[in-house]
Amino acid sequence: MKRQHIKQTVSFQVRLSAWAKQLREQASKLKPGDERDDLLAKVCQADVAARLDEWVNSRGLRPPK
């Protein structure tokens, strides 16, 4: 079985930012509660992933801030 390969046309950073923005917009429409908290947790995960990706792809590989 062959895996399908998808050629990404947008960078990982841009996709993470767009996903985080979409989640923030969805969370802003919800009342405080579990569902909203779950969306905001995903936003946090996207932010961490963006920082880690930036760090991994940096020239000096310095520890994240």
pLDDT in tens, 19-48: 999 999 999 999 999 999 999 999 999 999
Whole-model pTM: value is 0.75
- Domain with 49 in it: 12-56
**Structural domain count, the chain:** 1
The answer to the question of residue 6 being in a domain is no
The answer to the question of residue 64 being in a domain is no
- For residues 39 and 23, the answer to whether their CB atoms sit within 8 Å is yes
pLDDT in tens, 1-22: 888 888 888 999 999 999 999 9
Confidence band of 65 (pLDDT split at 50, 70, 90):
low
The answer to the question of residue 29 being in a domain is yes
The answer to the question of residue 30 being in a domain is yes
The answer to the question of residue 47 being in a domain is yes
The pLDDT of residue 59 is 78
The answer to the question of residue 38 being in a domain is yes
Confidence band of 56 (pLDDT split at 50, 70, 90):
confident
- For residues 13 and 50, the answer to whether their CB atoms sit within 8 Å is yes
